[in-house]
Amino acid sequence: MSRVLVLVRHGQSEWNLKNLFTGWKDPDLTPLGVTEATAAGQRLKALGLTFDVAFTSVLTRAQRTLKLILDEIGQPDLLTIRDQALNERDYGELTGLNKDDARAKWGEEQVHIWRRSFDVPPPGGESLKDTAARVLPYFKAEILPRVLAGEDVLIAAHGNSLRALIMDLEGLSGEEILARELDTGVPIVYRLNEDGSIAAKEVLKG
């Protein structure tokens, strides 16, 4: 049994390009984001990977990234499960603001704390700790058992929902995972042992 789990952050979105806090808002991919997602599919195809099931969020940028990947690997009709548990972190009152405008309103230090602390949420939003409390129970109940049973699983989601998964998979602290940058459209391929520990990891950069 191969027990492959692939995580992919969506390709560049329209709000990534504008440097806006996106959260649960639903912008589409940019042309570059489409290119990134297509390239992610090509890299997975080059490894000969196919999947038994895919998971994604309820947001367009992640779903479209997944569709472009599945088209490239020749599995356009793969069983796909969408759930808001995999949505991006909710940025609350920061959502839709340019990051420079947010700094002007609340101050650079406060915005930095909201972005880079593990457990301090922005007003009306989620911290990474809150995001993990939403993502990880779903992952452990619905996704990980499939992988451990021998299925190969693809997840297309978001920077912070994937950070929560990586923190758990790799046994990282909140501070360690906050320092981890996830590039858009770059697959991370994990091969798991039967106890859920990592046998191998490969980041498929271009």
Residues marked active site are found at 10, 88
Name residue 34's amino acid.
V
Q: Helices in the chain by DSSP H: which ranges?
A: 14-17, 31-46, 60-72, 99-106, 108-116, 128-138, 144-148, 159-170, 174-178
The contacts found for 139-146 with CB under 8 angstroms, 24 or more apart, are 139/85, 139/165, 139/168, 142/55, 142/81, 142/83, 143/5, 143/55, 144/196, 146/52, 146/53
| DSSP state at residue 173 | -
Residue in 156, 155, 206, 185 with CA at minimum distance from that of residue 34: 185
> CA-CA distances (angstroms) from residue 78 to 41, 48, 159, 171?
14, 16, 23, 30
Rounded-to-integer distance, Cα 130 and Cα 91, Å:
11
Contact in structure between 35 and 69 (CB atoms under 8 Å): no
